[in-house]
């Protein structure tokens, strides 16, 4: 069975489901949580929604709140440090 | 909220999947974290193929992810070429994983160097495919083929774009 590795914390999982539900030791979030991917990803999410005409004020506000939460938690810095160790 | 989307890379015969890669390291080793200094490409040789896919880990309340577009920005240097299976027309369907090779890839399209303006990577084998639940795109396969006269030291940017419908 294929191995699934978290590219951030480097832990391995037997199944993809196990990977998606794990709490990353670097970000403190699961890969199903947008803030796990940092503020750049969250900003890109807005553009992905904008391209389909789906970026409502409500959606944008929700994403902006996630950006603030990620910033407060220094997620970008944690991700940068984890990748520097590769 | 929004869907959560990452880029994954598969390596080795066992199709080991590294999720959420931070960059695309191309060199003389089959690894998601190739060190270009430790694994340089001899001029005239090819990099190992990269087998990557766009993976939706959660839909976040959105209904659809589609219109996948991939391209490279920045020069390769010398006479190197960048080959891929990505294409906007006559898409050959989903590529079945094979152990990445440094021999010349069987995929011979040229990687776009600007936004292709249309889907060039499929989902479920089709450029009009979409993800309405968690899952992955078809494999994006790409390889840099160098020329004997090429010199080292090239960095460029891979772009992976998708549309998300609420």
pLDDT digits (tens, 9 = 90+) for A48-71: 999 999 999 999 999 999 999 999
* CA-wise closest residue to B92 among B105, B103, B108: B108
What's the number of CA atoms in the CB half-sphere (13 Å) around residue B83?
Answer: 17
Chain B residues with CB under 8 Å of a chain A CB are 1-6, 10, 14-23, 32-33, 57-58, 60, 62, 64-65, 67, 134, 161-166
What's the CA gap between B154 and B74, in Å, rounded? 9
Q: How confident is the model at residue B105 (pLDDT cuts 50, 70, 90)?
A: very high
Q: For B40-52, write each residue's pLDDT tens digit.
A: 999 999 999 999 9
Q: Nearest residue on chain B to A81, judged by CA atoms?
A: B22
Which residues of chain B lie closer than 8 angstroms to A38, CB-CB?
none
Q: Nearest residue on chain A to B23, judged by CA atoms?
A: A83
Q: How confident is the model at residue B152 (pLDDT cuts 50, 70, 90)?
A: confident
What's the CA gap between A83 and A27, in Å, rounded? 12
- Taking the model in full, what pTM does it have? 0.95
* pLDDT over 70 (residue A37): yes
- Look at residue A1 in the predicted model and tell me its pLDDT: 60
CB-nearest partner of B60 from A4, A19, A34: A34
Number of A/B CB contacts below 8 angstroms equals 98
Which residues of chain B lie closer than 8 angstroms to A6, CB-CB?
19-20
Q: Nearest residue on chain A to B8, judged by CA atoms?
A: A7
> Do A51 and B19 count as a contact with CB atoms less than 8 A apart?
no
Go through A14-23 and write b for each residue having 16 or more CB atoms within 10 A of its CB, e for each that does not. Answer: eebeebbebe
């Amino acid at each position: 069975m294929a191995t699934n590795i978290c590219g951030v914390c480097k832990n391995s999982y037997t199944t993809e489901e196990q990977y998606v539900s794990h709490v990353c030791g670097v970000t403190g979030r699961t890969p199903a949580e947008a803030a796990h991917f940092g503020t750049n990803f969250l900003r890109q999410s807005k553009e992905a929604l904008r391209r389909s005409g789906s970026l409502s004020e409500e959606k944008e506000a929700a994403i902006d709140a996630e950006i603030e939460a990620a910033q407060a938690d220094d997620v970008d810095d944690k991700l940068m440090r984890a990748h520097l160790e590769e | 909220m929004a869907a959560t989307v990452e880029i994954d890379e598969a390596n080795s015969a066992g199709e080991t999947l590294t999720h959420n890669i931070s960059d695309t390291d191309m060199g003389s080793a089959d690894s998601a974290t190739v060190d270009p200094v430790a694994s340089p490409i001899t001029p005239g040789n090819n990099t190992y193929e990269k087998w990557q896919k766009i993976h939706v880990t959660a839909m976040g309340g959105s209904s659809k992810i589609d219109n996948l577009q991939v391209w490279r920005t920045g020069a390769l240097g010398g006479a190197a070429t960048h080959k891929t299976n990505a294409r906007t027309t006559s898409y050959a369907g989903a590529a079945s994983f094979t152990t990445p090779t440094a021999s010349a890839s069987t995929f011979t399209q040229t990687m776009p160097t600007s936004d292709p303006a249309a889907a060039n990577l499929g989902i479920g084998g089709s450029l009009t495919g979409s993800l309405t639940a968690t899952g992955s795109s078809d494999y994006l396969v790409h390889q840099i083929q160098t020329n004997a006269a090429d010199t080292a030291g090239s960095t460029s940017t891979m772009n992976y774009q998708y549309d998300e419908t609420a």
